[in-house]
Amino acid sequence: MEKIARGSLYLVLTGACTNGRDALDVAQAAIAGGINLIQMREKDTDRNGLLGLGKRLGSICKKSGVKLIINDDPFLAGELDADGVHMGQEDVKICNLEKARRILGKERIIGISTHSLAQFEEANLSDVDYIAYGPVFKTKTKDYFIGINHVEKVLAMSEKPVFFIGGINLSNIDELVSMGAENIALIRGITEAEDVTARTREFKKRMGKI
């Protein structure tokens, strides 16, 4: 089976962006709506906190066949027996991809963020299982965005599944899908929805997956 199914919707879960709701409840609701992967992305939580949250998220995800990806830290991903790790451009300076692969083995997922064509080209040649490309739209998480001009180029050259990320919502997803985007990753488009399950389902529908 492919590590990343075509047409995957990827929730990057950050507790600070849930409008005060429990991150686990939001995860559960997204799972009910058909989310395919969840990333635990908590930049301000200490390791013990991450271990606790990661265990609880892992158990929810396992029950429903959703993949759990841990942000930044392959050691933590291994310790949690998660499905994989997501590495940022800064993370790979601390732990390079070869080392991450040695820690996690070839069955687990390694994904990487890219923010330019040059970074994408480099990632495309490396041992990763998916490439995230963005921010494609304006997002509160980053102070810049790279736009959608190169979306088709990136898709044409890619050897791996590509997740587009950054500011994706119901008003702009159709444009991405019409350009050929198959996989989408997002935070607020899902975590800030009043009805997380319905919103997740709507994204899947727009992606042609319902």
Nearer to ligand 3NM, 62 or 142 (CB): 142
Residues in CB range of 53: below 8 A, 6 or more apart? 23, 24, 40, 42, 45
Place of tokens 């600070």: 16
- For ligand 3NM, which stretch binds (CB under 6 A), given 22-30, 48-56, 149-157, 187-195? 187-195
> What is the C-alpha R_g of the chain?
16
Nearer to ligand 3NM, 67 or 188 (CB): 188
Using CB under 6 A, which of 23, 104, 168, 181 touches ligand 3NM? 168
CB 109 within 8 A of CB 129: yes
In whole angstroms, how close is the CB of 98 to ligand 3NM at the nearest point? Answer: 22
Using CB under 6 A, which of 135, 182, 200, 204 touches ligand 3NM? 135
In whole angstroms, how close is the CB of 1 to ligand 3NM at the nearest point? Answer: 26
Nearer to ligand 3NM, 8 or 113 (CB): 113
Distances (CA, A) of 120 to 83, 117, 125, 150, 155: 23, 5, 9, 11, 10
Nearer to ligand 3NM, 95 or 169 (CB): 169
In whole angstroms, how close is the CB of 145 to ligand 3NM at the nearest point? Answer: 8
Site for ligand 3NM in 9-38 (CB under 6 A): 12
173 part of the interface to ligand 3NM, by CB under 6 A = no
Nearer to ligand 3NM, 80 or 133 (CB): 133
Using CB under 6 A, which of 154, 166, 181, 201 touches ligand 3NM? 166
Interacting residues with ligand 3NM (CB under 6 A): 12, 113, 115, 132, 134-135, 139, 141-142, 165-168, 186-189
